[in-house]
Amino acid sequence: MGHSILFVDDEMNILTSLKRLFTTTPYTNFFARSGKEALEIMKNNQVNVVVADLRMPEMDGIELLKQVKSSYPDCIRLVLTAYSDKESVMKVIKEGEVWKYILKPWDNKELLATIEKAFSHFDSKTDQGQGLTPPPANQFTGKKVFFLYPHTVINEDFILDLISEYEVYFLKDHKKALRILKKYNDSIIFINIDVHLKEKEWQEYITNLMNDKSTRNVKVGIVSYNSDQDLIKKYLMEILVPCGFIQLKVGLEQSKKIIQKVLEANEAKRGRAYLRVNCTHEQNIFFNIKMEGNLYNGRIIDISISAMACVFDKTPVLEENEKIPDIQLNLKSAIVRLSGILKAIRKDKGYTLYIILFDPNMSVKNRLTLLKFIHATLQLQLESNYF
């Protein structure tokens, strides 16, 4: 199936110029003079890319593209804008509402190149890549999220807001990072360009990462304290990083919101509500429960902040939906005591697997301990394979 694009602008001369430019392209082209007309076209036709003028009567370009995102999340969204509107457009780009912007007046070659990259981005989100795009991530695992050379504030403060919902890793070697990204080439990476390499070297590194066949489906974002507008424009408009340029100078809370919106826009969250870690091959991870004066020990198979799958050394006298008032988790050097309920008993590969749900009202301390354990274990498992 071929690619299709919709241009939306209330000025007829703009649409005429676009028609003239795109007549010879292999794309199916649609044109609309209002947001309402554009939505009607999309209702009756498959559209892969939408390019909308920022300033239109009744429904402006940003509002139109927000509706497109809601109804057609795979559709790639771009906005046409004058230079004077650049700051407001960059804000919605960073928040994931719009993929890129195109300045008026545009350069025809640059516009054609940008649209070609937009279709490549669309292919990376769907199965239209003619075999070049790997199958989507398993719905229960989501996308891995990497931070290359994370800033201290992200390392210490931000991570706890992410790790309950996203599979987050820290990378501290840009060369070894390439090996990891080739394996997980549907992942997302935020790169700190303030350290280790010179600016031109970072630009070359990121450009090669985005153009290499084995890593071009990786979504790249920039995290930096640098607020130079020319540098930001280069990454957004020339290198075309898909996950934006996050300026830490705007404040930690605002940076958190922007990164979270980027992750939501790129569908990084897993099908399951909480991240789990497999503990089968980990040492010093076990548990015990006390029931009616009896102590039962066992091994943890996998665990999240909401539940664990486990096996007992000795079969306990337990029934499904029975409350367990005293559970002690031994997570290497950390101990967590909480309560729960036996949700299910299953036979799996010759042993009996017990699914225990933790009390959702566990203490903040217990929750943080579990989150830190899950993140640290996943990080160690990654490092043991690649570092």
Question: Among 39-48, 140-149, 335-344, which stretch is predicted with the lowest mean pLDDT?
Answer: 140-149
Say if strands 277-278 and 245-247 run parallel, antiparallel, or are unpaired: unpaired
Mean pLDDT confidence for 121-129: 62
Can you list the alpha helix ranges (DSSP code H) found in the chain?
Answer: 12-22, 35-44, 61-71, 86-94, 108-125, 152-153, 159-162, 174-183, 199-211, 229-233, 252-265, 364-386
DSSP character string of 85-152: GHHHHHHHHHTTS-SEEEEESPPHHHHHHHHHHHHHHHHHHSS-STTSSPPPPPTTT--EEEEES--H
- CATH code reported for the domain at 144-265: 3.40.50.2300
Query: What strands, in cross-sheet order, belong to the sheet with 49-53?
Result: 28-32, 4-8, 49-53, 76-82, 100-104
C-alpha to C-alpha distance for 250 and 182, rounded to whole angstroms: 32
What is the phi-psi region of residue 199: left when phi exceeds 0, alpha when psi lies from -120 to 50, beta otherwise? alpha
Mean pLDDT confidence for 154-167: 73
pLDDT for 333 beyond 90: no
**What's residue 277's pLDDT?**
86
Give the contacts of 311 (CB within 8 A, at least 6 positions apart): 298, 299, 301, 351, 352, 353, 354
At 132, list the tokens: 């070049």
**What's residue 86's pLDDT?**
61
C-alpha to C-alpha distance for 94 and 219, rounded to whole angstroms: 13
**What's residue 349's pLDDT?**
67
Helix axes 61-71, 35-44, angle to 10 degrees: 20
Amino acid in the structure at residue 302: D
Give percent of the chain with pLDDT exceeding 70. Answer: 88
Residue 137 — pLDDT band, cuts 50, 70, 90? very low
C-alpha to C-alpha distance for 351 and 340, rounded to whole angstroms: 22
Residue 365 — pLDDT band, cuts 50, 70, 90? very high
Question: Among 28-32, 166-170, 252-256, which stretch is predicted with the lowest mean pLDDT?
Answer: 252-256
Mean pLDDT confidence for 365-370: 91
Give percent of the chain with pLDDT exceeding 90. Answer: 43
Residue 351 vs residue 272, higher pLDDT: 351
Residue intervals in the chain for CATH 3.40.50.2300? 4-125, 144-265
C-alpha to C-alpha distance for 94 and 134, rounded to whole angstroms: 26
Highest mean pLDDT, choosing among 44-48, 115-119, 327-331:
327-331
Give the contacts of 5 (CB within 8 A, at least 6 positions apart): 22, 27, 28, 29, 30, 47, 48, 49, 50, 51, 115
What is the overall mean pLDDT for the chain? Answer: 84
C-alpha to C-alpha distance for 331 and 340, rounded to whole angstroms: 17
pLDDT for 202 beyond 50: yes
Residue 70 vs residue 13, higher pLDDT: 13
Assigned CATH topology for domain 277-386: Thrombin, subunit H (2.40.10)
pLDDT for 29 beyond 50: yes
pLDDT for 325 beyond 60: yes
The helix (H) or strand (E) run that includes residue 224 is strand 219-224
The correct answer on CATH 3.40.50.2300 for the domain covering 4-125 is yes
C-alpha to C-alpha distance for 100 and 260, rounded to whole angstroms: 18
Residue 84 vs residue 25, higher pLDDT: 25
Say if strands 351-358 and 307-312 run parallel, antiparallel, or are unpaired: antiparallel
**What's residue 173's pLDDT?**
93
Question: Among 110-124, 186-200, 360-374, which stretch is predicted with the lowest mean pLDDT?
Answer: 110-124
The model carries a pTM of 0.63
Residue 265's closest CA among 51, 43, 92?
92
Question: Do residues 219 and 189 lie in contact, with contact meaning Cβ atoms separated by under 8 Å?
Answer: yes
**What's residue 361's pLDDT?**
92
**What's residue 310's pLDDT?**
93
Please state the length of the chain. Answer: 387
Q: What is the pLDDT of residues 266-324, one digit of tens each?
A: 777 755 557 788 888 888 899 999 988 889 999 999 998 899 999 999 888 888 999 99
Mean pLDDT confidence for 319-330: 94
pLDDT for 196 beyond 60: yes
Q: What is the pLDDT of residues 51-109, one digit of tens each?
A: 998 888 888 888 888 888 888 888 999 888 775 556 666 666 655 567 888 888 888 98
C-alpha to C-alpha distance for 232 and 244, rounded to whole angstroms: 9
